[in-house]
Amino acid sequence: MRHGWIFLFSSALVAMSCGGGEVSQSTTEHPDGGTALDAAVGGECVKNADCADSPAAKALANVRCAGQDIYCLDGTCHGECLKSCVVARTDVNPCSTPSICVPRLGGSISFCSLAPATCSTATDCPAYLPKTSSGEQAAWQCTDGTCHYPDFDYATH
pLDDT at residue 18 in the model: 28
Higher pLDDT, 70 or 2: 70
Domain boundary among 29, 49, 81: 81
pLDDT at 35 over 80: no
Partners of residue 147 on adjacent β-strands: 142
Specify whether 75 is located in the same domain as 122. no
* Residue 156 is assigned to a structural domain of this protein: no
Mean pLDDT calculated for residue range 132-150 = 96
pLDDT at residue 128 in the model: 96
Task: Count structural domains, the chain.
Answer: 2
Residues 6 or more apart in contact with residue 56 via CB below 8 angstroms = 23, 40, 41, 42, 43, 70, 77, 78, 79
pTM for the predicted model, two decimal places: 0.72
Least confident among 12-21, 113-122, 129-138: 12-21
Give me the percent of the chain exceeding a pLDDT of 70. Answer: 76
* Residue 18 is assigned to a structural domain of this protein: yes
pLDDT at residue 87 in the model: 95
Please tell me what DSSP assigns to residue 111.
E
Specify whether 11 is located in the same domain as 72. yes
Residues 6 or more apart in contact with residue 147 via CB below 8 angstroms = 116, 117, 118, 119, 122, 124, 125, 126, 140, 141
One-letter identity of residue 102:
V
